[in-house]
């Protein structure tokens, strides 16, 4: 059987998230599976590198699927992009070894989070950023980023209950870039727990605006208590940029 890898870009605004929900047509996975099933004329299931929440976007989500179809890759990507709604685009298609698994083989991910940091909102960034007017102390947030980088048990910064699986993750990069009123946060790590990027973001913002102290980070690492960390910021500012695999 052929194993095919897709690189997918989507504007998550209209969707309930990546993960298929029954027959719902309002998920990214469901949309792509339906079209693939039509064009290959056999039931296709795709495996994503991981879920994204309702409203979250992707510039480089990765998925793979197995098929007996002999269709050329160029024809397959063309058909996919012709029949998919315009807010979901297959950017690349590639045949990969049969053992490739988009979720199990992922060794890291890169996310972006965007903040619109001005009292006046933006007509164009409204679905692609979180409108947050508070004045922010960037030096303090940079310090907070340095505390978060490294290997830690991030369960207190996630929506997970106690679990037997490891909740230790490594953040390799966490940086902040001002692009005018748009503030761009970059997260690179070996994996992120459910809602982890959004809760880290909320914690950074509450530290930057003075609602939480810098020490909160160390305290949550110790206590592992979610409610001591910052808010969960909205999904709409979040982009899955890239998924990393060993070559």
* Residues binding its own copies (CB under 8 A): 9-11, 57, 77, 81, 86-91, 120-124, 126, 128
Q: How far is the CB of 127 from its own copies (least distance, A)?
A: 9
CA gap 51, 159 in Å, rounded: 14
CA gap 178, 137 in Å, rounded: 12
Q: How far is the CB of 157 from its own copies (least distance, A)?
A: 28
User: 1 or 123: whose CB is closer to its own copies?
Assistant: 123
**101, 82, 91: which is closest to 38 by C-alpha?**
82
Task: Tell me the three state secondary structure of residue 99.
Answer: coil
User: 1 or 120: whose CB is closer to its own copies?
Assistant: 120
- CA 174 → CA 147, 170, 187, distances in Å? 10, 11, 5
Q: CA 29: distance to chain centroid? A: 14
Catalytic-role residue among 11, 25, 53, 142: 53
Structure tokens at 185: 């946060």
Q: How far is the CB of 128 from its own copies (least distance, A)?
A: 7
111 is known to lie in a ligand binding site: yes
User: 30 or 189: whose CB is closer to its own copies?
Assistant: 30
| 53 catalytic per annotation | yes
Which residues are known binding-site members for substrate?
111
* Residues forming the active site: 53
């Amino acid at each position: 059987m052929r194993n095919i890898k897709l690189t997918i870009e989507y504007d998550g605004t209209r969707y309930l998230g990546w993960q298929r929900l029954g027959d719902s047509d309002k998920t990214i996975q469901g949309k792509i599976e339906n079209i693939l099933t039509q064009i290959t004329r056999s039931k296709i299931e795709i495996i994503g590198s991981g879920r994204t929440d309702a409203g979250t976007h992707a510039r480089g989500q990765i998925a793979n699927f197995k098929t007996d179809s002999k269709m050329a890759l160029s024809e397959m990507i063309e058909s996919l992009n012709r029949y998919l709604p315009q807010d979901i685009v297959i950017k690349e298609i590639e045949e990969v070894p049969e053992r490739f698994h988009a979720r199990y083989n992922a060794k890291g991910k890169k996310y972006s989070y965007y903040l619109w940091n001005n009292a006046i909102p933006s007509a164009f960034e409204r679905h692609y950023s979180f409108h947050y007017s508070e004045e922010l102390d960037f030096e303090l947030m940079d310090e907070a980023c340095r505390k978060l980088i490294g290997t830690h048990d991030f369960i207190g910064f996630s929506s997970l209950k106690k679990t037997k699986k490891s909740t230790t993750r490594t953040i390799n990069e966490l940086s902040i870039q001002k692009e005018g009123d748009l503030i761009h946060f970059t997260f690179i790590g070996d994996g992120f727990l459910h809602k982890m990027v959004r809760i880290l973001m909320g914690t950074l913002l509450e530290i930057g605006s003075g609602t939480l102290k810098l020490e909160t980070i160390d305290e949550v690492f110790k206590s592992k208590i979610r409610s001591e960390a910052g808010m969960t910021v909205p999904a709409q500012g979040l982009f899955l940029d890239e998924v990393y695999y060993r070559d």
